[in-house]
Amino acid sequence: MRTVKMRMAGGLAVAVVVMAGFGATGAVAAPPGTAGPRYTAGSDGAGDPYFPYSGNGGYDVQHYDLALTYTPPAMAPAPLQGSLTGVATIDLVATQDLDRFNLDLRGMDVTRVTVGGKPAAEVEAPAPGDEVDGAAYWQVQDDAARRWELTVQPRPKVKSGKSVRVVVEYRGTTVRPLDVEGALYGWVTTRDGAIVVSEPEGSMTWYPVSDHPTDKATYRFAITVPAGKVAVANGLPHKPAETSDGWTTWFWDAPDQQASYLTTASVGDFELRPTYTSTSGIPIVDAVDANLTANQLNTTNASLALQPAMIDFFESRFGPYPFNSYGAIVDDDSVGYALETQTRPVYSGSAGQGTVAHELAHQWFGNAVSPLRWQDIWLNEGWATYAAWLWTDDRGGTTAQQAYNSWYAPARTAAYWSFQIGDPGDLGLFATQVYNRGAATLHALRVEVGDEAFFEGARLWVERFNDGAATSADFQSVYEEVSGEDLDAFFQIWLWDQVKPPATWTL
Ligand code: ARG
Ligand code: ZN
C-alpha cells in the first residue's frame, strides 16, 4: 500500500496516493480524457537518494504471500550456508500504464514468473532501450552498484489502476549478507537456522519485494523447516503447524500494514511460549532460543516479563498499541544488534530491559509511522531511545532530565557535534548521534513546548501518519500545530547546526 496520510490546508488529514514514492522518477501515464494508455517501464527505485535501487515505481503492493522452504546449514562445518526455496505471491496495483516493472531481489535465482497466471520467459537482460518480445523476466545482480533487480515484462501490459497477481518462484544458497556499512543483515544464516533482520533494505535477500518503507503491505507466511526447528514471523499463527515426512510448516499472518524492512521469518531451536496479554488485550507470543546460557536466559526472562507493563505505559503516553500482536524472538546466535521487526522484535544473545523498551517503542515510532526517506531515521531511533528514558524514569530510575543532562554535560569532539542527524548519510543511519542527539532533541522539544503539547503531539503524529510514512518536516508541522509555536529555529539547531546546541533547554 502506498497511501500516505498528509495534512491539507485547514489541518484536515486526508489519505492521498503517492504515485511513485517521492520524486517520481517513472514516466507518467497520459492524463484521463486524452489519447489512450502510454505504457512505460516502472522506475527501478523508490527515489530514495541513500538507496537509489531500493523500492520500485509504477505500482503499489497490497499483499505478499510467502511460502518458504529452508534447510539450515549442518551444525558443524563452516561456511554457514543454508538453502532457501520460495514462492512469493504478490498482489499489486499498477499506478501507471506498465510495460515493465521491477522487484528487488538479491542473491536468489528466479526459476519461474507468472503475471495474472500467464508464465513469462526467462531472457538475458536487454541493453537499455532494447525491446523484448512477449512476456519475459530477467535479473541484474550488480554488487558494486548495490543494484539487485528482477524485471518483469507482463503481457498483456498492465493499465494504471489494475490489480495483478505476480507469482515468483526462486531458490538460492543463503549466506550472511552485509549492509552498506558492512553490518550483517537480511537472511543471516546461523548454525541452527537464520536470524532475519532486514533494515534498511535487506528484505531483498530473501524475497522479491519493493524494498522501501513507502510501500507498506500485509503479509502471510508458510515456512517449512526440518521437523524440530521453529520458524517465527510477524503477527499471529493463523493455523497450527503441520508436520509430515520430517518437515514442519509454520503459518503466520500479519494483517497490519508493514514496511518491508520490518518483516522477519527467523528460524531456530526456539521454544514458542504460551500466549499472554497486555492489559489492553494485545496477545504476546515469545520465541526464546533453547540454547541460551543461564545468564542470558535470566536477563531475557526478566525483561520479557515486563512487556505487558511496558505496553500499558507506552499506550498511556503514545496512544493505543498499533498492531494485532506482540512478542520477542531471542536467538543465541548474534548479529550484534536487535531489530524492531513488526509485532515481534528480534534480539541477539539476550534481551536486556532497556533494549526491550526501545524495540517496543519502535512499534509506534518507525513501524506505525515509518521514515518516508532513510534520511528521516532520527524519528525512529531518537524516539525509541527517548521512550526507553521515559520507561526508566517511570520505574523510579534515572529521570529523563538526568539522562538528558548526562548526555549534554560531557565534553565531546567537534566531529561528534558536527554530525547532522537531519541528514546522517547512508553510512550514518545508526550512528550514536542519531540515537542520543535524537533523544535529546525530543527532550528539548518537550521542555520547549511543555509536557501537555509534547505528549499530545506524539499521539497526533502516530494517529495522523499511522500505516504510512512521514518526514522531519511533517513532524515539525505536528508540533507547530499542537504548540502554536514557530519551531523553525528549534529544529534548525537540533537537526542541522553542526555545533553543540546552546544550554537554553538544559534545566
Ligand atoms: N533499528 C535497530 C535498533 O536500533 C538497529 C538496526 C541496526 N542495523 C544495522 N544494519 N546496523 O533497534
Ligand atoms: Zn532502534
Calculate how far, in angstroms, residue 463's C-alpha sits from the geometric centre of ligand 1. 24
User: How far is the C-alpha of 332 from the C-alpha of 173, rounded, in Å?
Assistant: 22
Among residues 268, 297, 328, which one ends one of the domains? 268
Same domain, yes or no: 274 and 257: no
Q: Tally the domains of the chain.
A: 3
Q: Is the CB of 381 under 6 A from ligand 1?
A: yes
Task: Spell out a b/e string for 254-271, using b for 16 or more CB atoms within 10 Å of the CB, else e.
Answer: bbbbbbbbbbbbbbbbbe
Contact 336, 194 (CB under 8 A): no
Report yes or no on 93 lying in a domain: yes
Q: Which run of H or of E encompasses 140?
A: strand 136-142
Report yes or no on 214 lying in a domain: yes
End-to-end CA distance of the chain: 44
What value, to the nearest 5°, has the Cα angle with vertex 392 and ends 390 and 393? Answer: 60
Query: What interhelical angle do 378-394 and 432-449 show, nearest 10?
Result: 70
**Sign of the C-alpha dihedral, residues 407, 200, 306, 458?**
positive
- Contact partners, residue 129, CB within 8 Å, separation at least 6: none
Same domain, yes or no: 129 and 260: yes
Q: Is the CB of 211 under 6 A from ligand 1?
A: no
**What's the distance, CA 397 to chain centroid?**
31
Calculate how far, in angstroms, residue 359's C-alpha sits from the geometric centre of ligand 1. 10
Same domain, yes or no: 145 and 75: yes
User: How far is the C-alpha of 32 from the C-alpha of 36, rounded, in Å?
Assistant: 8
Same domain, yes or no: 182 and 104: yes
Q: Is the CB of 430 under 6 A from ligand 1?
A: yes
Calculate how far, in angstroms, residue 76's C-alpha sits from the geometric centre of ligand 1. 29
User: How far is the C-alpha of 400 from the C-alpha of 387, rounded, in Å?
Assistant: 9
Same domain, yes or no: 62 and 207: yes
3-state secondary structure of 92: strand
Contact 373, 471 (CB under 8 A): yes
Same domain, yes or no: 251 and 298: no
Q: Is the CB of 183 under 6 A from ligand 1?
A: yes
Q: Which residue's CA is the closest to the ligand 1 atom numbered 8?
A: 199
- Contact partners, residue 294, CB within 8 Å, separation at least 6: none
Which ligand 1 atom is the nearest neighbour of the CA of 381?
4
The set of cell numbers assigned to 381 is 531511533
Same domain, yes or no: 233 and 249: yes
**Cα 229 to Cα 196, 338, 340, 359, 424, distances in angstroms:** 15, 21, 23, 25, 39
Q: Is the CB of 426 under 6 A from ligand 1?
A: no
Among residues 342, 363, 384, which one ends one of the domains? 363
Q: Which residue's CA is the closest to the ligand 1 atom numbered 2?
A: 339
203, 339, 385: which to mutate for ligand 1, most atoms within 8 A of CB? 339
pTM of the model: 0.94
Calculate how far, in angstroms, residue 275's C-alpha sits from the geometric centre of ligand 2. 25
Q: Which residue's CA is the closest to the ligand 1 atom numbered 6?
A: 339
3-state secondary structure of 228: coil
Q: Is the CB of 417 under 6 A from ligand 1?
A: no
Same domain, yes or no: 55 and 119: yes
Q: What are phi and psi of 177, to 5 degrees?
A: -65, 155
Calculate how far, in angstroms, residue 456's C-alpha sits from the geometric centre of ligand 1. 27
263, 340, 430: which to mutate for ligand 1, most atoms within 8 A of CB? 430
Q: Is the CB of 340 under 6 A from ligand 1?
A: yes
Per-residue pLDDT tens digits of the chain, which is 507 residues long: 644 433 333 333 333 334 334 444 444 444 555 668 899 999 999 999 999 999 999 999 999 999 999 999 975 556 899 999 999 999 999 999 999 999 999 999 999 999 999 999 999 999 988 999 999 999 999 999 999 999 999 999 999 999 999 999 999 999 999 999 999 999 999 999 999 999 999 999 999 999 999 999 999 999 999 999 999 999 999 999 999 999 999 999 999 999 999 999 999 999 999 999 999 999 999 999 999 999 999 999 999 999 999 999 999 999 999 999 999 999 999 999 999 999 999 999 999 999 999 999 999 999 999 999 999 999 999 999 999 999 999 999 999 999 999 999 999 999 999 999 999 999 999 999 999 999 999 999 999 999 999 999 999 999 999 999 999 999 999 999 999 999 999 999 999 999 999 999 876
Q: What are phi and psi of 233, to 5 degrees?
A: -125, -160
Calculate how far, in angstroms, residue 234's C-alpha sits from the geometric centre of ligand 2. 18
Calculate how far, in angstroms, residue 361's C-alpha sits from the geometric centre of ligand 2. 9
Calculate how far, in angstroms, residue 48's C-alpha sits from the geometric centre of ligand 1. 19
Same domain, yes or no: 294 and 424: no
Q: Which residue's CA is the closest to the ligand 1 atom numbered 11?
A: 183
Report yes or no on 368 lying in a domain: no
Which ligand 1 atom is the nearest neighbour of the CA of 366?
1
Q: Is the CB of 434 under 6 A from ligand 1?
A: no
Same domain, yes or no: 417 and 309: no
Q: Is the CB of 104 under 6 A from ligand 1?
A: no
pLDDT at 354 (0 to 100): 98
pLDDT at 79 (0 to 100): 80
User: How far is the C-alpha of 237 from the C-alpha of 1, rounded, in Å?
Assistant: 23
Q: Which residue's CA is the closest to the ligand 1 atom numbered 3?
A: 339
Contact 61, 92 (CB under 8 A): yes
Same domain, yes or no: 44 and 146: yes
Q: Which run of H or of E encompasses 271?
A: strand 270-272
Q: Which CATH number goes with the domain that contains 27?
A: 2.60.40.1730
Among residues 336, 363, 390, which one ends one of the domains? 363
Residue in the structure block whose three cell numbers are 512499534: 363
Surrounding ion ligand 2 within 5 Å at CB are: 381, 384
Q: Which CATH number goes with the domain that contains 345?
A: 1.10.390.10
pLDDT at 36 (0 to 100): 83
Domain of residue 17 covers 1-268
pLDDT at 33 (0 to 100): 56
Same domain, yes or no: 357 and 400: no
pLDDT at 34 (0 to 100): 61
